[in-house]
Amino acid sequence: MADIEQQTPVEETPTNDVEMNEGAGDAPGGDVELTQMEPEAPKLVLFAELMKSPIVEVIVGSGENRATYSAHQAVIIKSPEFAKQVDAFSAGGPRQILFPDCDIEAMGSVIEYLYTGEYFPKRTSSARDAPLEKDPRQPSADDDGLGLLVHARIYTLADRLQLPELKSLAHSKIHRTASTAKGELAYARYVYKESSPGDATIRKPVAAFWATRSFSLRHDAEPEFKAMCLEFPQFSYDVLQLVLDQQEKSRRGGGDDGLSSRGGPSVVPGSTRKRARLGWVDWLRDGRWENAKLAAPSVPALVPPALHVCVSDASGPEALPDALQIAVEGIAHRYCGIA
């Protein structure tokens, strides 16, 4: 709230002028106190000064698949990880930083960002939902998820280099990149392989995407989705958790949280999309997944007790979203040999 302006009363001028000796009213140390109160001006670093700093070679990859980026030290030390390695340089020794296990193009984009604050493909405008520039490197039908992987690799590298603003930028570009169902699964596989288990920023949107894409799973990428569930059980659990949370909200009359509105209906009445009752249904209904504790301790965590209640419902297992059915089927097959 703005301060209310008030008039300050003015005292009468005394009849007799009083002479003041120069500096008589100054309190001891007054100049020092004023100086301490003044904010320190930020240090201005000109671009020309950055260009005068020593060159550091950032060597990425190994063997024939290897590239060297020559960058100015004052630029790359914006990354705490780069700064730590620069500080470790010995006097007169090579000024090189090695990243043999890093993606070459991702590192190039990181260097570009450190110089310019952006990387290609850039947003076409400053609008919140502005699309990205067209990237001629990517195919029109991206079944391999190449467009998504560009930004995912930059995201994970930015995390490694401790560049949180670049992580946010890469994450925003992921959501502006179109792909196919198979491409999305290739991206999901990378995310669950390369990101830390606690990184909900990038993992949760992936699980939410597949928790609502029953139609895509059924018609475009069911085998790939099964393979993903078998390779990364945590992905299966994350998808299951979102689907079950949504069903619980619906039963309580709480509506949806926006998940179901982005995907098609889980079952189309009168269609052939209903899945057959397979062995995994009996496996769940009988509670046999509890017996898997000895063989695979992670199974009870992947198939929560709420799921048993869910498939025992009068509506039958066919009413479950395809994402849920496929994920559970994959888990049952892998851990208990259920067909």
pLDDT, tens digit, for every residue of 268-283?
Answer: 333 333 334 345 555 5
Give the pLDDT of residue 47. Answer: 73
Other C-beta atoms closer than 10 Å to the C-beta of 257 total: 12
- Cross-sheet strand order for the sheet of 96-99: 65-72, 55-62, 96-99
Predicted TM-score (pTM) of the model is 0.65
User: Nearest CA to 242 among 220, 263, 215?
Assistant: 263
Question: Which residues 6+ apart lie within 8 Å of 36 measured at CB?
Answer: none
Q: Can you give the residue ranges of every domain in the chain?
A: 47-179, 236-336
Query: Which residues, given as ranges, of the chain have pLDDT below 70?
Result: 1-45, 214, 218, 254-339
Listed in sequence order, the DSSP H helices in the chain are: 30-37, 47-51, 73-76, 80-87, 104-116, 146-160, 164-174, 181-194, 200-211, 214-219, 222-231, 233-251, 279-285, 299-302, 305-311, 322-336
Indicate the length of the chain as a whole number.
339
Q: Which CATH code of 3.30.70.20, 3.90.1150.10, 1.10.10.60, 3.30.710.10 fits the domain covering 47-179?
A: 3.30.710.10
* Cα–Cα distances in angstroms (integers) from residue 83 to residues 58, 219, 291, in the given order: 12, 49, 52
Contact 59, 76 (CB under 8 A): no
pLDDT of residue 17: 52
Task: Look at residue 317 and give its three-state secondary structure.
Answer: helix
Inter-CA distances, 265 with 68, 95, 211, 329, 334, Å: 50, 58, 12, 20, 28
Q: What is the pLDDT of residue 282?
A: 56
> What confidence score (pLDDT) does residue 78 get?
96
C-alpha–C-alpha distance, residues 79 and 271, integer Å: 55
Q: Which residues contact 114 (CB under 8 A, 6 or more apart)?
A: 71, 75, 76, 78, 79
CA distance 267 to 264: 9
CA 283 – CA 224 distance, rounded (Å): 23
Question: Which amino acid appears at position 74 of this protein?
Answer: A
